[in-house]
Structure 1
Amino acid sequence: MNVKNRKCIRKLSLKSLYANRRRNLIAIFAIALTTLLFTSMFTIVLSLNASYETYQFRQVGGYAHGTFKDVSPEQAERIAAHPKVKSAGARKVIGITADGVFSKTPAEISYMDANCTKWSYATPTTGRMPESGKEVTMDTAALQLLGVTPELGAEVTVSYSITDKDQTAFTVTDTFTLVGYWDYDELMPVHYINISRDYADDIEAQAVKTGLQPFRTDLNVMMASSTNIQGQMEQVDTDLGYTWDSYTDPNSVRIGVNWGYTSSQLESHLDPELVIAIAAFLLLVIFTGYLIIYNIFQISVAGDIRFYGLLKTIGTTPRQLKRIIRQQALLLCLIGIPAGLLLGYGIGAVLVPVVLRSTQLDAGITTISTSPVIFVGSVLFALLTVLLSCSKPGKMAARVSPVEATKYTDAMQTKKNSAAPGERSSIRWPLPIWDETKKRRCWWWCLWHCR
């Protein structure tokens, strides 16, 4: 027969929890400490990874997931509309200058749309993007190399070599109007000199008239996620009927994956020792939290062994006793876990710059991760630790019999009273609970104290 007693069990759990305030404070502290360990660990690890990826992106020249290389307008439109492609940005390179003032770090003259500009760290911090005619944007270091003061409206003269798909052809010298600029990043592999689409189309038309091939257009993309970028891009080519491993097939769309992403590097050479080390550290933290929380609940159950024996006397099942302890643990988690999340994230954020200073990474690329993985992972691991910790005490409470509980209490009370022989004890327990009258007393006692 199924008896609807969940409300009664919940009330018993709350009343028992309220009666053990000192234990509750210790348990909340232990749960918060365990959550703090997980949160600070995840914050440090993911922030270090984010900082490392930012460092790599700046060396690569952008943070797009990958590039579909040398695409036609039709191919670019089909790829951008594919469900796996979250967003796309086009770039058309028309020339390069690697001589004179740009001999140390070359400069690329190209048209970038808004997405590509953003992903390439080329968004003007002063001014705007080129919109028409001979408008240009570039970094402050490139302007200094050309002897131009970074001011909007300044005249900038640039000489560059026209570059089509197959060769570098003739040289062009043009004077542009500066409409935007940004600070130069010394980690960037090239200087970006961005022009308007109108100007790029005009130069392309002139180059084609001289017998050159049309300029190459690359489509940078952001996929649905940064995991398995190679596989996702290959799937896009397959779905659209393209290949990706041929330079001569006109139906081939070659792909390039941004190696700055940690996931891309792990896919190419996964280090088993690193995986083992991370797993061992997680197990160590779980085991540490388990020992602390387990001991608290073990001591609590041992102290309340008589209470659980009385509950079994009135018909409480072992499953219900386990549920009482589990509900108490989850209620304590409602206070301990949020406190641990806040403290752990704060401590992790403070420690990230300290850890980075001991590495070869530049302190200027410190990135504090706000990934939901930090909080979701911490909550899940903390809950797992708490549930594991209270499972064995729950079994202990479920196995206790009324007679054992009475004997256990009798032994404890005898030990307490042995130091004062001859004195009359004020303790009326243990009750002869197998007597019918006393059993009724136990029933009313539980109802009174759990009301």
Structure 2
Amino acid sequence: MVSILKKIPIRKAVREKGKSLCVAAAVFFTTVLFVMVFSTLFFVMDAAEEMMKASSPMLSDAVLNVTEEEYERICANPRVAETSTGIIVARMRESSGAGLVILYDAEEQMARWMRYYPVEGRMPRQGNEIVVSDQYLRERGLTYREDLSIDLTFTYLDEKEHTETFTVVGVYKRALQPYHAVLVSDDFYGKACAYWEQCGLDPRGEADQQAGVMFSSRGSVRRLASMMVMEAKIDLEEGEIYINDISLLSSLDFSTWAALLALVLLVMWLGYLFISNIFHLSVTGDARFFGKLSTNGITRKEIKKLIRRQNNILFLAAVIPALLVGYLFSAAVLPGILSAFMTIQARGSGNGWTFVLAFAFSYLTVRVSERKPMKLAKNASPVEMKRYIGGFRRVKTADDGDCLKKFVVRHFQSDKIKVLKVCVSIAVSILLANVFYAVTAGFDVELYVEGDLDADYILAKESVFTNPSLNPASYERIAREEIAGCRGLPGVEAAGGASRSHICLLPTQEEWDAFEEIWGEGAYSDPGKMWTGAYGLDAMLLQKLQPVRGTIDLDQFQTGKYILLDPILSDDNTENVACYQPGDEVTIPFASGEVGTYTVMAIVEELPESMRFPGRYYASNVYLPMPEWQDKEHRDDYYLYAFDVEEAFHGEWDEAIEKITGDQSSGLACRSAKSLAEQAGRYINGLKLAGFVLSAILLAMGVLNFINCMVESVYSRSRELAILESMGIEQREIEKNLAKEGMLYMAGGFVPGCLLAVFGVYAMINMVLQESYIAYHFYPHIYLLFAVLGSAVAVLVPLAAYRQMDRKEKFLYRIRSCRE
């Protein structure tokens, strides 16, 4: 008996192909929706983590200061997958005199992790071989060549200076490193140890050894580092460990989790509407079969297992292709949409959790959907040998009413939940289709480009455009020679650059209190120190600054005695108050070590968004004329350079810019009208495709629900239809009545869907999105398309079901059947 029960689910699934196909389709569409939801999550997370990793000052999970014994214990720790080490041997002053450069003896892997590995040449191997940064050579007017010799003056971590000649064997790119370094060889470290021993010092206590660590698991890096430090018994003080925790899962706030949960529950609800209805129709159609099983001694538990086994077979048959199709569609469409919405460059993710979570939630939806139908099957009476058609409720209608009208009304009121599920699926499909179409059709590319671009061509390093948390102290900059080719192109109407350095303003107590009165406490960890940006702007960009308090005299401003400030960054700063007021004297300590005192000329709005440095601090940004900024910072680089070009030369510029940015080694990127229009086009096309697929899935759910309901309805009322025929009502009249019934189904979804769409689309565009480049329009052809499709399905499905039933079950057979 047990072996027979195991075969029943497979036989039923094969024999009842129509029902099996509907169940599989329900699971397929639901799983595709889940894959799209979780793909969106992991595409964004992986892109953000990749961006954070690319902008991180180090590539290892953690770097900590250790002794030799502690390093050995770290290497033996089971949580650690890979380690490497580097030693700070000596220090020297930067050419500007503002900061220190360390002389660093690093293993090859440590050099890679700390971003010191040479992009040209090789690592130092012996003697006085060194690797320096491109910035170090540029500041001295040197270019790298083999056997380049330079003299360095340094100290072995004490006060005594030494000068020696070194050979440059490699160059690394100075960008994101935590500090400026010169890589030295093991021989140089040995020389330093000999010096310390000669001075009566222990080399192990003088050198600062650092350990880089990569953990074996991908959990919280902060937690893993804490456990490793405790297990290895490492004595650390504040500032002796650096954590590279780029995992976003642990940093997601409650609102993000709530939004994700709401989206998952919405998909589960849509899947439930679809799957539960099909399960219910399937079980009610087989009530006689389950009654026979109960008569033959099959227990309720065994019937439950039988139904679940059949559902599991159909689930597995549908879920695997659904995972594949859902992921391929998501990988093709979602990155373009997400990248247009956000500052990150989303790409396809190979994160296995996408499939695991989609599989788990799809299966959970199936389990929830099968509960009520399974309960119905378990409770099938042993004597219920006739077809189960549900408990009809008596419907009060006028005695002289049309019997066909009573026939339809009784059917609708007998199972309102079933009708509601069909109507909701159709209404949601209409709403989604109209929202997606209205947003994409109302998208004005020219307005989008005009509002998002404040110059014809804006050049910057890729990270400036894509990384919203770019390190303000060490970011990739544009050198003057990198844009020399653009300066020579024809048609330039205006050109100018923007530079930025990271400075710390030192306000008086009164000025600090005024700042905290606006922003509140806790803006900076060190009270009394306001970190912010000092901008150097060419004339073209200075003209973009709009005063909100005071006036701007550009000729007077160019004398270098004045500065401009923007307002404090705070939602409560409704009056656009800055850290200082026009006429105040402000002393600025520059990053180079230079100090300057200036008069505030005016309070201005922040630079236009397309020209801003990504991210900012809470205090007011400081704007200076470019010559003054370059003189104080001893730099002539830019974070951004912009050109306005005559329209007649745009084609020539587009070709030239494409060649310049095509050189991957330069890292240059460009935002122009052409690039933004292409980006907008990809966004619109992706949104159209996503909207079409989502609407098609929901419409398919509603149509399949409708087909199942109508087919089951026709078969369950076969005897009543036969009685109507015996009363002299022609089959044509019955078919006409069934078509009306189908139209009522569709009207129940179409009318609410249209009303929701009209108000929902208006609210979405004018109240939620509120973008000037997306205009609201009414598109009647979308409603007409759904009306035509819905009417065709509403008429054809009942007719096909009735005629098929009439062929399979003859009139006499139906008239003799009765309910018991």
TM exceeding 0.5? yes
CA distance in 2, matches of 1:222, 1:336: 40
The one-letter amino acid of 2:48's match is: Y
Seen in structure 2, the aligned counterparts of structure 1 residues 301 and 106 have a Cα distance that, compared at 3 Å, is: farther
Equivalent residue letter for 1:87: E
Structure 1 SS opposite 2:188: helix
Deviations 1:127-157 (A, max 9, x none): 6544434444566666655655566x45263
1:289 partner letter = G
Q: What's the counterpart of residue 342 of structure 1?
A: 324
Q: Does the CA-based 8 Å contact 2:126-2:187 persist in structure 1?
A: yes
Are the equivalent residues in 2 in contact too, given 1:67–1:256 (CA < 8 A)?
yes
Work out the CA distance in 2 between the residues paired with 1:311 and 1:393: 16
Amino acid at match of 1:352: P
Structure 2 spans left out of the alignment, 5+ residues:
390-714, 728-809
Q: How does 1:127-276 map to 2 (within 5 A)?
A: 128-137=122-131, 153=146, 155=148, 157=150, 159=152, 161-162=154-155, 164=157, 170=161, 172=163, 174-178=165-169, 184=173, 186-187=175-176, 193-206=182-195, 209=198, 214-245=206-237, 254-262=240-248, 266=251, 271-276=253-258
Deviation of 1:376 after TM superposition, in Å, equals 1.9
CA RMSD after TM alignment? 3.7
Q: Does 1:394 align with 2:388?
A: no
Is this contact kept in 2: 1:101–1:146, CA < 8 A?
no
Q: What is aligned with 1:418?
A: 723
Residues 367, 195 of structure 1: CA spacing in aligned structure 2 closer, same or farther, 3 A cutoff? farther
Q: Which residue identity does 2:186 align to in structure 1?
A: R
Q: How many percent of aligned residue pairs carry the same amino acid?
A: 23
The 8 Å contact of residues 31 and 382 in structure 1, kept in 2 or not, is answered as yes
Q: 2:113 aligns with which of 89, 97, 119?
A: 119
Give the superposition deviation at 1:323.
Answer: 1.8
Distance 1:50 1:325 in 2: 40
Q: 1:284 to 1:411 in 2, by over 3 A?
A: closer
Query: Whole-Å Cα distance in 2 between the matches of residues 108 and 27 of structure 1?
Result: 67
Native 8 Å contact 2:10 2:310 kept in 1 = yes
Q: Which moved more, 1:424-433 or 1:41-50?
A: 424-433
Query: Would you say 1:372 and 2:352 are equivalent positions?
Result: yes
Quote how far apart the aligned CAs of 1:17 are: 0.6
After superposition, where does 1:280-319 map in structure 2 within 5 Å?
280-319=262-301
Displacement of 1:223 after TM fit? 2.5
State the alpha-carbon separation in 2 of the partners of residues 185 and 406 from structure 1: 82
- CA offsets 1:54-102 (integer angstroms, 9 cap, x no match): 3223333123222222x11111111221122222121223356663489
2:19 pairs with 1:23: yes
Amino acid at match of 1:225: S
- 8 Å Cα contact 1:58-1:188 kept in structure 2: no
Task: Name the counterpart of 1:51.
Answer: 47
CA distance, structure 2, for counterparts of residue 169 and residue 58 of structure 1: 38
- Worse overlay, 142-151 or 399-408: 142-151
Letter in 1 for 2:226: E
SS of residue matched to 1:225: coil
Kindly provide the CA deviation profile for residues 404-436 of structure 1, in whole angstroms up to 9, marking residues without a partner as x.
451636963312322431885245985999xxx
Kept after mapping to 1: 8 A contact 2:221/2:245: no
Structure 1 residue corresponding to 2:77, chosen from 73, 82, 92: 82
Give, as a single letter, the amino acid of the residue that structure 2 aligns with 1:392. Answer: K
Q: d(CA) in 2 for partners of 1:15 and 1:430?
A: 27
CA–CA separation in structure 2 for the residues paired with 1:115 and 1:431: 83
Deviation at 1:13, TM superposition (A): 0.5
Question: Does structure 2 conserve the Cα–Cα contact (< 8 Å) formed by 1:59 and 1:189?
Answer: no
Counterpart Cα distance in 1 of 2:319 and 2:159: 62
TM-score (norm 2): 0.44
Q: Relative to 1, partners in 2 of residues 1:407 and 1:297: Cα closer, same or farther, differing over 3 Å? A: closer
**Cα contact 2:719–2:818 (8 A) shared by 1:** no
Change (3 A) 1:304 1:51: same
Q: Secondary structure of the equivalent of 1:110?
A: strand
Separation in 2, partners of 1:352, 1:160: 51
- CA drift at 1:390: 1.9
The question of whether the paired residues in 1 share the 8 Å contact of 2:129 and 2:166 is answered with: no
Displacement of 1:31: 1.7
Cα 1:325/1:192, change in 2 over 3 Å: farther
Q: Deviations 1:334-358 (Å, cap 9, x if unpaired)?
A: 2322222222222333313531343
67 and 49 in structure 1: CA distance in 2 versus 1, 3 angstrom threshold: same
- C-alpha separation in 1, matches of 2:91 and 2:54: 20
Structure 1 contact 136–194 (Cα < 8 Å) conserved: yes
Tell me the secondary structure at the aligned position of residue 425 of structure 1.
Answer: helix
Task: Choose the corresponding residue for 2:307, options 300, 325, 329.
Answer: 325
Q: Which residue of 2 aligns with 1:41?
A: 37
2-structure distance, mates of 1:48, 1:98:
42
Matches of 1:80 and 1:150 in 2, distance apart? 37
Q: 1:261 to 1:173 in 2, by over 3 A?
A: farther
What SS does the aligned partner of 1:62 have? coil
Rounded to whole Å, the distance in 2 between the matches of 1:332 and 1:163 is 73
Aligned residue identity for 1:337: V
Amino acid at match of 2:12: S
After TM superposition, the structure 1 stretch with the greater mean CA deviation from structure 2, 380-389 or 274-283, is 274-283
Equivalent residue number for residue 439 of structure 1: none
Are the counterparts in 2 of residues 130 and 136 from structure 1 also a CA contact under 8 Å? yes
The code of the aligned residue for 2:114 comes to: S
Q: Tell me which amino acid in the other structure corresponds to 2:718.
A: Q
Contact 1:94/1:215 (<8 A) preserved: yes
Between the aligned partners of 1:261 and 1:106, the Cα distance in structure 2 is 32
Query: Does the 8 Å CA contact 1:13/1:327 hold for their aligned counterparts?
Result: yes
Letter paired with 1:304: D
Secondary structure at the aligned position of 1:58 is classed as helix
TM-score of the superposed pair, with normalisation by structure 1? 0.76
User: Any conservation in 2 of the 1:234–1:244 contact (CA below 8 Å)?
Assistant: no
In 1, the alpha carbon distance for the partners of 2:375 and 2:311 equals 14
1: CA distance, partners of 2:175 / 2:816: 80
> Helix, strand or coil for the counterpart of 2:212?
strand
Please list every run of 5 or more consecutive structure 1 residues that lacks an aligned counterpart in the other structure.
248-253, 434-451
The superposition leaves residues 185-222 of structure 1 with CA deviations (integer Å, 9 ceiling, x where unpaired) of 75555566433333333345446656886221111212
Please give the alpha-carbon distance, in whole angstroms, between the structure 2 residues aligned to 1:205 and 1:416: 106
**Structure 2 CA distance for partners of 1:13 and 1:173, relative to 1, 3 Å:** same
Does the C-alpha gap of structure 1 residues 80 and 24 become closer, same or farther in structure 2, counting only changes over 3 Å? same
Give the counterpart letter for 1:316 in structure 2: I
Structure 1 partner of 2:437 = none
Cα pair distance change 1:171/1:389, threshold 3 Å? farther
Relative to 1, partners in 2 of residues 1:22 and 1:154: Cα closer, same or farther, differing over 3 Å? farther
What is the letter of the counterpart of residue 208 of structure 2? R
Q: Distance in 1 between matches of 2:311 and 2:151?
A: 70
Give the secondary-structure state (helix, strand or coil) at the position aligned to 2:383. Answer: helix
Would the alpha carbon gap of residues 192 and 172 (structure 1) be closer, same or farther in structure 2, given more than 3 Å must change?
A: same
Cα pair distance change 1:10/1:411, threshold 3 Å: same
Between the aligned partners of 1:378 and 1:276, the Cα distance in structure 2 is 18
1:168, CA displacement in angstroms? 7.4
Change (3 A) 1:301 1:60: same
| Structure 2 Cα separation of the partners of residues 185 and 392 of structure 1 | 65
2:88 to 62, 86, 93: 93
- Contact 2:132/2:168 (8 A) holds in 1: no
Within 1, Cα distance between the matches of 2:75 and 2:312?
47
